[in-house]
């Protein structure tokens, strides 16, 4: 590979990393607002959904910059492979691995969302749920990589982002919409009660059960 290095690459890598975290937080919050059906009066629900899509595009761009800057900087011996395959980096194996996991999950979510119309909604939704562990992996990656993690501004930034994330998660659960509990609603969140009886999540089966008689 080209023997390219420059302090600026390193700064870009760290800066884009932090910005990505902020953008990811924003994306996840917007996604949660969409799922909980927020809006309809001052702001349209579809507007929140569109915002979610657009900010996620920005987040993907910044994450791409972050990965590229890190990979091409030969001062830090992480190659392209180790950015997607965990535990293959000779430099700071665990932190980079966690980042790779986050990146893998992000790619899965992103690609399936681009091809959303081509796949079953259930499949898309299951993979989209991976955004939560992806966020957690991204934050962990930031902590472990440690370039800025001793700086107060960084701790404050990440701390607030995490609080926002956890708060949004809690709110997501607490204010989940009562829904028709259909089979395609393969969400682990049960519906919050119909008027004459509560519904319970039944066995989620969208593939043939082994052992059942088949033709």
Partner 1 sequence: MKKRNELLQLRVNPILCDGFGHCAELAPDLVILDEWGYPIFPDGPFSPGEKERIRSAHLAIRGCPRQALVLERLSVDTK
Partner 2 sequence: MNSRILPRVLAGPGLLDRRPLTYAQHETNFASSFRTTNLLQELEKSGLTGRGGAAFPTYRKAQLIADQHSRVKYVVVNAMEGEPAAHKDHTLLATNPHLVLDGAAALATAVGARLVSVCIPREAAATINHVERAIHERQRRSNTGPKFEVQTPPGRYVAGEESALVHWLDDNETLPQFRVVRPHVLRIGRHPVLVDNAETHAHIGLIQRYGGDWFRDLGTADATGSTLVSVSGAIRNPAVLEVALGTPLHHILETAGADTSPQAILLGGYGGTWLHGDHVNTPYDNASLAKFGASVGAGVIMVLPKQGCGITETLRITKWMANESARQCGPCAFGLPAMAEDLAHISSASRDAVAAIQRLYGRGQAIEGRGACRHPDGVVRLVRSAFEVFQPDINRHAKGQACAAAATSRYAPVPRLASESDLVWE
Residue 199's binding partner out of partner 1, partner 2, none, with CB under 5 to 8 Å set by partner kind: partner 2
- Of residues 156 through 195, those in contact with partner 2 by CB under 8 A are 179-184, 194-195
Residue number, 42 or 202, with CB nearest to partner 2: 202
CA distance 46 to 57: 17
Q: What is the dihedral of CA 11, 17, 19, 25, to 10 degrees?
A: -170
- What is the distance between the terminal CA atoms of the chain, rounded to a whole angstrom? 56
Residue-wise over 121-149: b if at least 16 C-beta within 10 A, else e? eeebbbbbebbbebbbbbbbbbeebebbe
Residue number, 4 or 205, with CB nearest to partner 2: 205
3-state SS assignment for residue 116: helix
Q: Does 40 bind partner 1 (CB under 8 A)?
A: yes
Residue 121's binding partner out of partner 2, partner 1, none, with CB under 5 to 8 Å set by partner kind: partner 1
Largest alpha-carbon pair distance within the chain?
70
Residue 53's binding partner out of partner 2, partner 1, none, with CB under 5 to 8 Å set by partner kind: none
Q: Which residues are at the interface with partner 1 (CB under 8 A)? A: 34, 37, 40, 44-46, 49-50, 116-117, 121, 177, 179-180, 182-185
Q: Which residues are at the interface with partner 2 (CB under 8 A)? A: 179-184, 194-200, 202-203, 205-209, 212-213, 215
């Amino acid at each position: 590979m080209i023997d390219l290095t420059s302090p600026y690459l390193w700064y870009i890598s760290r800066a884009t990393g932090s910005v990505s975290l902020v953008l990811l937080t924003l994306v996840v919050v917007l996604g949660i607002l969409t799922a909980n059906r927020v809006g309809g009066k001052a702001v349209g629900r579809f507007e929140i959904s569109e915002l979610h899509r657009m900010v996620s595009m920005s987040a993907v761009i910044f994450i791409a910059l972050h990965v590229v800057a890190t990979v091409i900087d030969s001062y830090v011996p992480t190659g392209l492979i180790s950015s997607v395959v965990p535990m293959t980096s000779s430099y700071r194996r665990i932190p980079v691995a966690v980042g790779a996991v986050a990146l893998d999950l992000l790619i899965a979510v992103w690609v399936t969302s681009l091809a959303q119309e081509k796949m079953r909604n259930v499949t898309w939704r299951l993979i989209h749920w991976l955004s939560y562990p992806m966020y957690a992996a991204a934050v962990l990656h930031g902590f472990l990589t440690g370039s800025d993690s001793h700086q107060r501004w960084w701790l404050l930034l990440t701390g607030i982002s995490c609080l926002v994330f956890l708060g949004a998660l809690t709110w997501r659960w607490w204010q989940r919409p009562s829904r028709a509990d259909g089979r395609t609603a393969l969400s682990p969140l049960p519906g919050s009660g119909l008027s004459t009886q509560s519904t319970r999540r039944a066995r989620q089966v969208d593939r043939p059960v082994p052992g059942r008689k088949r033709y």
